Chains A and B, each alone.
Chain A
Amino acid sequence: MIGRLAAHTFKNHLLTLRFSIGVAMAVIMVVAVTLVQIQDYDARSQAVAQYERTRMEIRERTTAWSMVRTVLEIPPSKLSFLAKGISNASPNNLEISAGRPATLIEMGRYHAANPLLDFLPDPDVASIVAFFFSFLAVLLSYDLISGAREQGMLRSLLAVGVGRIQLITGLALGGFATLLLIVILSIGAIAATLQWASSIQLNGEVLAGLLIISLEILLYCILFFAIGLLCSSLCRRSNLSLLFALLAWVVLVIGIPALASQVVVQLDPLPTTESLEKTTREIDAEFRQQVNNYMEEHSPFRTNRNLYYGWNTGNIFGFGVNNAHYVVRSPFQEVIDFRRGLREFKEPLRERAITRLEQAQHEYENLMWRQVETVGLLSSISPASVFRRLCAVAAGNDPGSLRRFVESARQMRREYVAFQRSKGYGSLDFTTDQHRDRAPLDLSGLPPQPQMQWNAGNVLHDSAIDISLLIAPLVVIFFAVGFIFNRYDVR
């Protein structure tokens, strides 16, 4: 009986105008958005490749190195068309060297070609699903009980001996089948678009991402279907149930996501970076003061003004923008000895300064992260927010993935420092003129740069809580629907 009821509901849905219009619009929208976002991905990938090429050219032109310094590009995710997540606002490269720790605070270049287009929304598949599919799911379920009561179908069905639980289960299963069909059609359209009109290959990673996101879309749609069903079971008239369902939709999809984010951002704002900059200046000034004192005491130029050698203690955090630093050798032994001494004096000072800077940056990033967690906690009431987070995680454009990448960049910096040391250079050298007899830094054996790796295990790990945030209300709502429908007056 449940099967027949489900089949009947499924067939009824297929014949409705709202289903036909809704599915047509849904498929057109996801295909259009996929095509546009693929173009965006291509442009970003080409830009990253160009930067990499330029860097390699510089590296090839450079014959002598005294330090390792690099810019880590954060390549766009292949699955960005599904969910852009934070990729529009987050930095797309990290600059690191022995004296410059990786941080999220200094922003890289813009990903987007034109930030002025931000006056209009930038849709991806996740946003289309969050807004439109949930709306469609509500439309499919709001009159399943109240509408059937109005038409007298409930009485007829119960009169022929169909149990109430059987009836509601059949209606729900029929709805699930309809939603499954919508998801299959949409994902199929996306896969076809990828296959025939894009540079993105349907490899294991893309297919796994599509599969994960399909299941999440289905779960999300079922939740809104359940909300519509709950409204339907609470009302005796279909227009009233529709009203409540749409009210719930507006609050959950539009109201709460904006509210949660704004309440946290404005009432518990991130402090400006001024305090961090002040700390940086203090560390730098302290370092320079100590170096100046040393130089005052030991400089050979105090006694021999004929020695020509210009140096600059410099700002230890501002190395300019060049990627290569050439070995400079001074012809004066006195200067060489002095610089060797200075280097040995500066080495531990710099180490300490960099560690302090890293700590200050880390503390600021923790504040950023705390804000993200608070917004996440507040917006968890909204399935739309939870769903968009899930999609961003599946696409690798979530805060967690970026944070992991930054951590790996920090680790890489440590490896680079160790590498420089293993070659006999100071951890934070930027000129090595004191090493008259030493060969330039040999870059062979340099540790590889970290890559932004998509990993299904990470995705599932990061998604576990959010998936449970969709499943838990779903279970509660279905129990509530069963309970309410058991007492529903079908007259």
Chain B
Amino acid sequence: MLRYLYAKEIQLSLRSVRFVIALAIVMVGFAVSGIVGSASYHNQLTEYRQRQAEATRNLMDQMGGLNNVAVYQQAALLPPSKYPYIRDLSITRLPECVLVNAARHQEMEKVLRSNPLLYATEAFTWQFILAAIGGFIAILLSYDSVAEERRQGTISLIFSNPINRWKLITGKLLALITINAVLIAAGILLSLLILSFSGVPVLSSDALATTAAFLGFAILYAAFVTALGLLVSTMTRTPSLALTALFFIWVTFSIIFPSAARITAGAMQSIPTPDEREREIDQAIDEIMDENNNTRPTANGSQSVNYSRIPFTAVETHVANGIVRAIEAAGRLQQKHENLMFDQGYFGLDLARWSPVELFRESVAKLTDSDIDRWRRFLTEVEIYRRELGSAVSALDSRDPNSPHVYFQDHVSIWISLRPVEDATQIPRFEMREPPFSDRLAGALLPAAWLFIWTVIAVLLAVIVFMMVDLRQQQTSS
């Protein structure tokens, strides 16, 4: 009987006009996302390579710009996401470059990533299509599933046969989930074709596994919305009321919840402003430098400081050590501020998890490694790299009997070696490690599990309510 009901629901849905509308919207949406995603992939990759080349050139300029002095200040670049067609953060203001030197890493550099004159919008990706338009389509297919039958009285006819209520609602649910899954899979297939033809490596094992996992999360999300649609459809007496209520809920989950999460995170977990952060760091540097000046040795020779002279005098060594301490203190403060920023960001995202739509977004973000953790890992790896760079500079400099040396120019604080380095390959370069698919999937499973719990609750409620509610045709009051 369940199979019969399932087949009947599928047939009914396939014949409806709304299925055709949904199919058209999904196919157009995914086709456009394929075209846009492909362009985004190539643009980001080109820009990344250009910036890498620029960083190498800058390094060579530094090495050649000062007589027999090699300066080590490297740009650590965040590589572009491999899946901008699934989720794209290139249009955000999030930084993708950090200037690193051996003493500390500089604050995240702000570079012109996108046109600052453009109004912010969401990227037209698979995630956007599913979260925004896909949610609407799932509502569209399910909102009158029960309410319309109830309005027309056909549900009473169905129950005149020996049919279990739970079988009927389960049949409807499974049929609608299947249709949603077919629509999503068809859209993804079309998008993959376009991406593949335009040279995006979508057929690699990693990309295919990511796509398959995305499809799974998308079907889970569609199942949640469908179950919600059936629940509301069962609880309301007219399809219009069901649609209105569903839309209210959907707008609340997709727009109001995340906005409220941001507002609450900003209000409840305040962090110092950029100005206050800057002042705190400046103050720490001044205190150490003042203290260092007060304890400056006076014996044996000149008080003047000249770091390009070999060997350093006692005064120069003292001042240089003070500079290093000041820079390191500034680095520690900077890390403290970054931690506060991350705490606030995580707090906001935790609050947003009350929305199933956000859970879907988060699972996709983790799957494609384009969430807040990517920036956290980026800065952690930059810190590790900074130490490597420092060790490399020390090793190079240790060949000089008068090492270590330090150089301080304007506001740029850099460890240097006075020993010239002819070969740029002697200086370690920053390479961010991309997490393997298994790690990304493991990260995505937690929000997906929460979404699954939401879905189970919605399904159970839909079944329970369907079994308890009076489903007779509404009597029209005069």
A interface residues, Cβ below 8 angstroms from B:
18, 21, 29, 32-33, 36, 39-40, 43, 46-47, 50-51, 85-86, 88-91, 104-110, 112-123, 127, 131-132, 135, 139, 142-143, 147, 238-239, 242-243, 246-247, 250, 254-255, 257-259, 261-263, 265-267, 269-270, 272-274, 277, 320-322, 368-369, 371-372, 375, 385, 388-389, 392, 399, 402-403
Partner of B94, one of A113, A116, A147: A116
Instruction: Please determine whether B344 and A262 come into contact, CB atoms closer than 8 angstroms.
Output: no
Q: Which 7 A-B pairs have the closest CB atoms?
A: A116-B345, A266-B39, A239-B239, A120-B262, A399-B117, A262-B124, A123-B259
CB within 8 Å: A-B pair count: 215
Kindly provide the distance from the CB of A423 to the nearest chain B CB, expressed in whole angstroms: 27
Q: For residue A105, which residues in chain B have a CB less than 8 angstroms away from its CB?
A: 112
Instruction: Please determine whether A121 and B262 come into contact, CB atoms closer than 8 angstroms.
Output: yes
Instruction: Please determine whether A132 and B251 come into contact, CB atoms closer than 8 angstroms.
Output: yes
How far is A239 from B51 in the complex, measured between Cα atoms in Å? 54
Q: Is B411 an interface residue (CB 8 A)?
A: yes
Instruction: Please determine whether A107 and B267 come into contact, CB atoms closer than 8 angstroms.
Output: no
Q: For residue B43, which residues in chain A have a CB less than 8 angstroms away from its CB?
A: 266, 269
Partner of B114, one of A21, A259, A263, A270: A270
Partner of A121, one of B248, B258, B341: B258
Q: Is B349 an interface residue (CB 8 A)?
A: yes
Instruction: Please determine whether B117 and A258 come into contact, CB atoms closer than 8 angstroms.
Output: no
Q: For residue B121, which residues in chain A have a CB less than 8 angstroms away from its CB?
A: 257-258, 261-262
Q: List B residues 373-414 near A (Cβ within 8 Å).
A: 375, 410-411
Instruction: Please determine whether A118 and B265 come into contact, CB atoms closer than 8 angstroms.
Output: no
Q: For residue B266, which residues in chain A have a CB less than 8 angstroms away from its CB?
A: 36, 39-40, 114, 117
Kindly provide the distance from the CB of B292 to the nearest chain A CB, expressed in whole angstroms: 22
Provide a sorted-by-A list of 11 A–B residue pairs whose CB atoms are within 8 angstroms. Answer: A32-B260, A33-B263, A104-B116, A107-B112, A113-B272, A116-B372, A120-B262, A121-B258, A255-B29, A270-B115, A375-B119
Kindly provide the distance from the CB of A38 to the nearest chain B CB, expressed in whole angstroms: 12
Partner of A118, one of B94, B132, B255, B342: B94
Kindly provide the distance from the CB of A367 to the nearest chain B CB, expressed in whole angstroms: 9
Instruction: Please determine whether B344 and A116 come into contact, CB atoms closer than 8 angstroms.
Output: yes
How far is A36 from B259 in the complex, measured between Cα atoms in Å? 11
Instruction: Please determine whether B262 and A258 come into contact, CB atoms closer than 8 angstroms.
Output: no
Question: CB-nearest residue of chain B relative to A113?
Answer: B273
Interface SS majority for chain A: helix
Instruction: Please determine whether A265 and B118 come into contact, CB atoms closer than 8 angstroms.
Output: yes
Kindly provide the distance from the CB of B461 to the nearest chain A CB, expressed in whole angstroms: 21
Instruction: Please determine whether B35 and A255 come into contact, CB atoms closer than 8 angstroms.
Output: no
How far is A18 from B274 in the complex, measured between Cα atoms in Å? 43
Q: For residue A385, which residues in chain B have a CB less than 8 angstroms away from its CB?
A: 119
Q: Is B332 an interface residue (CB 8 A)?
A: no
How far is A258 from B262 in the complex, measured between Cα atoms in Å? 21
Partner of A254, one of B47, B133, B263, B352: B133
Instruction: Please determine whether A119 and B263 come into contact, CB atoms closer than 8 angstroms.
Output: no
Q: Is B312 an interface residue (CB 8 A)?
A: no
Which residue, A36, A109, A120, has most C-beta atoms of chain B within 10 A? Answer: A120
Q: For residue B118, which residues in chain A have a CB less than 8 angstroms away from its CB?
A: 86, 89, 261, 265, 371-372, 375, 399
How far is A238 from B29 in the complex, measured between Cα atoms in Å? 27
Instruction: Please determine whether A371 and B115 come into contact, CB atoms closer than 8 angstroms.
Output: yes
Partner of B251, one of A43, A135, A267: A135
Q: List B residues 254-284 near A (Cβ within 8 Å).
A: 255-256, 258-263, 265-267, 271-275
Question: CB-nearest residue of chain B relative to A139?
Answer: B244
Q: Is B110 an interface residue (CB 8 A)?
A: yes
Instruction: Please determine whether A263 and B410 come into contact, CB atoms closer than 8 angstroms.
Output: no
Size bracket of the B interface: 35 or more
Instruction: Please determine whether B341 and A116 come into contact, CB atoms closer than 8 angstroms.
Output: yes
Partner of B32, one of A116, A263, A388: A263
Kindly provide the distance from the CB of B204 to the nearest chain A CB, expressed in whole angstroms: 22
How far is A39 from B244 in the complex, measured between Cα atoms in Å? 34
Q: For residue A108, which residues in chain B have a CB less than 8 angstroms away from its CB?
A: 110
Partner of B124, one of A88, A91, A259, A399: A259
How far is A400 from B182 in the complex, measured between Cα atoms in Å? 46
Partner of A117, one of B18, B128, B248, B345: B345
How far is A103 from B62 in the complex, measured between Cα atoms in Å? 26
Partner of B115, one of A120, A322, A368: A368
| Given A120-B262, A120-B352, A123-B259, also A261-B410 (CB < 8 A) | no
Q: For residue A32, which residues in chain B have a CB less than 8 angstroms away from its CB?
A: 260, 263
Question: CB-nearest residue of chain B relative to A87?
Answer: B116
Instruction: Please determine whether B345 and A114 come into contact, CB atoms closer than 8 angstroms.
Output: yes
Q: Is B54 an interface residue (CB 8 A)?
A: yes
How far is A257 from B18 in the complex, measured between Cα atoms in Å? 24
Instruction: Please determine whether A121 and B259 come into contact, CB atoms closer than 8 angstroms.
Output: yes
Which residue, A85, A119, A270, A375, has most C-beta atoms of chain B within 10 A? Answer: A119
Q: List B residues 431-446 near A (Cβ within 8 Å).
A: none
Q: Is B348 an interface residue (CB 8 A)?
A: yes
Partner of A267, one of B39, B132, B342, B411: B39
Kindly provide the distance from the CB of B408 to the nearest chain A CB, expressed in whole angstroms: 13
Kindly provide the distance from the CB of B107 to the nearest chain A CB, expressed in whole angstroms: 10
Q: For residue B21, which residues in chain A have a CB less than 8 angstroms away from its CB?
A: 247
Partner of B348, one of A115, A120, A368: A120
Q: Is B136 an interface residue (CB 8 A)?
A: yes
How far is A127 from B122 in the complex, measured between Cα atoms in Å? 13
Q: Is B299 an interface residue (CB 8 A)?
A: no
Q: For residue B428, which residues in chain A have a CB less than 8 angstroms away from its CB?
A: none
Q: For residue B95, which residues in chain A have a CB less than 8 angstroms away from its CB?
A: 115
Instruction: Please determine whether B50 and A272 come into contact, CB atoms closer than 8 angstroms.
Output: yes
How far is A127 from B372 in the complex, measured between Cα atoms in Å? 24
Q: For residue A90, which residues in chain B have a CB less than 8 angstroms away from its CB?
A: 116-117
Instruction: Please determine whether B247 and A239 come into contact, CB atoms closer than 8 angstroms.
Output: no
Instruction: Please determine whether B54 and A277 come into contact, CB atoms closer than 8 angstroms.
Output: yes
How far is A110 from B411 in the complex, measured between Cα atoms in Å? 19
Partner of B258, one of A106, A120, A322: A120
Instruction: Please determine whether B35 and A239 come into contact, CB atoms closer than 8 angstroms.
Output: no
Q: For residue B244, which residues in chain A have a CB less than 8 angstroms away from its CB?
A: 18, 139, 242
Q: For residue B258, which residues in chain A have a CB less than 8 angstroms away from its CB?
A: 120-121
How far is A372 from B121 in the complex, measured between Cα atoms in Å? 13
Q: For residue A320, which residues in chain B have a CB less than 8 angstroms away from its CB?
A: 410-411
How far is A322 from B92 in the complex, measured between Cα atoms in Å? 31
Q: Is B179 an interface residue (CB 8 A)?
A: no
Q: Is B149 an interface residue (CB 8 A)?
A: no
How far is A442 from B197 in the complex, measured between Cα atoms in Å? 66
